[in-house]
Amino acid sequence: MGISRLGDYRKETVTAVLAPGTRASISAALTGVQELAEAFDYARLSTIRNDIARCRALLESIEDSPALEPSLTACMDETHRTTTHVVSQRAAEQRETAGLVTAVREAVAAVSQDTATFQSDVQRSTSRFEELASNGRVLDLQARLRSEVQTLKTSIALHQAASRRNNESLNSRIASLETQLRVARQESAIDALTGVANRGAFDKACREWMTSGLLRFSVLMIDVDDFKQINDTQGHLEGDRVLAAVGVALQKGARSNQDFVARIGGDEFAILARDLTLTAADSLFSRVVATLDAYRKEQASSLPHVTLSCGAAEFSAGDTIRSLMQRADEALYEAKRRCKHRVVTKSKPFLRDL
């Protein structure tokens, strides 16, 4: 029987007399129920207040002890039900709060890789969740939690969008830098005047060929005959034009994807020729000379007429760049000594292959 029904006993108990101390005990019990409901923001708080007020009014009218038992029973039943409902409601709200906090922690874990600034924002939001769960009033807690969760979701979305933009910008910048680096490396390996590889690139390629297990390749050292005379009589600009023309002739005359052309220094050039025997070196050199003559004709004979000399040496097991180049250079010197404009080969030493 609820407190709202205690008025049914009022007419029966108007002449009742309470035992000493009973009224105070009942009043204290009602006060405890009300304080419990208010402390936990019980959803039926207004109804409880009205019921307790009616119960207090009924207690004031009771004077007969025999008529008190039904009223006390009803009052205590309502006290028990109210206490049970309040505790149950509080437990449910605590479970819901704990679930929300757990969900937030999982969200935080999902973005744990984010930046320190974002982690700091999330930590502050998480701290607010925990503070609300422990100290907040239950009626306000859920609304405030929903607001905090929405704020956190918005923060995560904004941060992820910013991260995507930053990643896209960073990837674009990296791609640009990689392109610049690739171009710079290519340019650093090219002789600016002639457009062929420089000495550093030649040495690198030669080392790679030597260590790659390539069974056969040769080096052709090519020199412009009487180049000093061209510089002395026609000037260095004309000499540069000659060198550039030789570079073009070497690139066009060399075999595609088989030969590596480089300027060694001054008027000296070199060709690394894959799968080329010394007996075939003459044909490759002849093709280069023919290409140079054709290029001069394309320039309407504005270029000085020049001839080339060539010394060729074949790679041998145990060779170093220095030993291989030395043989080719000795062959070139011999070609110069033999009136120039020719190819001289120098065979690999027999003892080295033993």
Is 101 a member of any domain? Answer: no
187 — pLDDT class (breaks 50, 70, 90): confident
- Write out the residue range of the structural domain in which residue 10 sits: 3-92
| Residues found in the chain | 354
Q: Is residue 97 part of a domain?
A: no
The whole-number average pLDDT for the span 17-30 is 63
Do 162 and 266 reside in the same domain of the chain? Answer: no
The model's pLDDT over 278-335, given as tens digits with 9 standing for 90+, comes to 889 989 999 999 999 888 888 766 788 899 999 999 998 888 999 999 999 999 999 9
Residue at 125 is within a domain: yes
Of 92, 126, 154, which residue constitutes the final position of a domain?
Answer: 92
pLDDT band with cut points at 50, 70 and 90 for residue 170: confident
pLDDT range class, residue 136, cuts 50, 70, 90: low
pLDDT value at position 12?
41
Hey, which of 121-125, 159-163, 243-247 has the most confident mean pLDDT? 243-247
- Tell me, yes or no, whether 105 lies in a domain: no
d(CA 26, CA 283): 124
CATH number at residue 312: 3.30.70.270
Q: Phi/psi class of residue 91: alpha, beta or left (left: φ > 0; alpha: ψ in -120 to 50)? A: alpha
269 bridge partner residues: 222, 263
| 134 and 206 fall within a common domain | no
Q: Is residue 104 part of a domain?
A: no
Do 151 and 184 sit in the same domain of this protein? yes
Give the residue from 166, 188, 210 where a domain finishes: 188
Same-domain check for residues 332 and 214: yes
CA dist., res. 106 & res. 126, Å (int): 11
Local structure of 248: helix, strand or coil = helix
Q: Which of 309, 300, 306, 241 is nearest to 270 (CA)?
A: 309
Percent of the chain exceeding pLDDT 70 equals: 59
Span 48-54, mean pLDDT?
73
Give the SS3 label for residue 10. coil
Same domain? For 268 and 329 the reply is: yes
Query: What pLDDT score was predicted for residue 71?
Result: 60
Q: How many helices (H) and strands (E) does the chain have?
A: 10, 5
Residue 141 lies in a domain: yes
Percent of the chain with pLDDT over 90: 31
- Residue 140 and residue 275 share a domain: no
99 domain-assigned: no
Same domain as 243, residue 330: yes
On whether both 65 and 123 belong to a single domain, the answer is: no
Q: How far lies 171's CA from each of 57, 112, 136, 174, 182, in Å?
A: 79, 22, 46, 5, 16
pLDDT of residue 197: 93
Residue-level pLDDT at 1: 43
What is the structure's pLDDT at 13? 39
Same domain, yes or no: 129 and 175: yes
* Number of domains the chain is built from: 3
Residue range 215-222: mean pLDDT, rounded: 90
Question: pTM score, two decimals?
Answer: 0.52
181 and 123 belong to one structural domain: yes
Least confident of 32-41, 109-118, 176-185: 109-118
**Domain end position, chosen among 150, 168, 188:** 188
Active-site residue list: 267
What value does the mean pLDDT take over residues 162-168? 82
In terms of domains, do 36 and 179 share one? no
Residue 11 maps to a domain: yes
Answer yes or no: do 343 and 203 share one domain: yes
